[in-house]
Amino acid sequence: MFDSQLYSSFFTLMGIVAFLGVLYLFIKRYAKSKTALKGMNIKIHERVAVFPKGHLIIAEIGGKFFLLGATEQSINILKELEIEDIPIEKERLNISAVREPEDLSFKSFIKSTLKSKNNN
């Protein structure tokens, strides 16, 4: 009797672990496909809080730069900017170059933390 309960509990536990493994793989695959589409045409370069619920935003939309005003109720285009109007972006941003995505893994976080700790 004890053996049958043990086997039953073991197989139930293994079934749950297998289900969680399949669920993990499905979510991991689905999340990759969603993040590949994220931010292809719209990039936020800077956001500054003007008051608690209002921001000024410099955004690049389809290769053009805009100064946006955003509140809880609305988003307004305040001005279309030229790249010369943004001194930091003119030096830092090479529009023709495609940026490689940053490695946001835990391993890279630990490496950068240890590297900065060793430099101090």
pLDDT, one tens digit per residue, over 24-78 is 988 887 776 555 556 678 888 889 999 888 999 988 888 889 999 999 999 999 9
Has this prediction a pTM greater than 0.85?
A: no
Average pLDDT over residues 88-116: 65
pLDDT, one tens digit per residue, over 94-105 is 544 445 556 677
User: Which alpha helices (H) appear in the chain, and where do they start and end?
Assistant: 2-37, 87-92, 106-119
> At 113, which amino acid appears?
T
Residues in the chain: 120
Tokens representing 110?
């630990």
- What whole-number distance in Å separates Cα of residue 34 and Cα of residue 104? 16
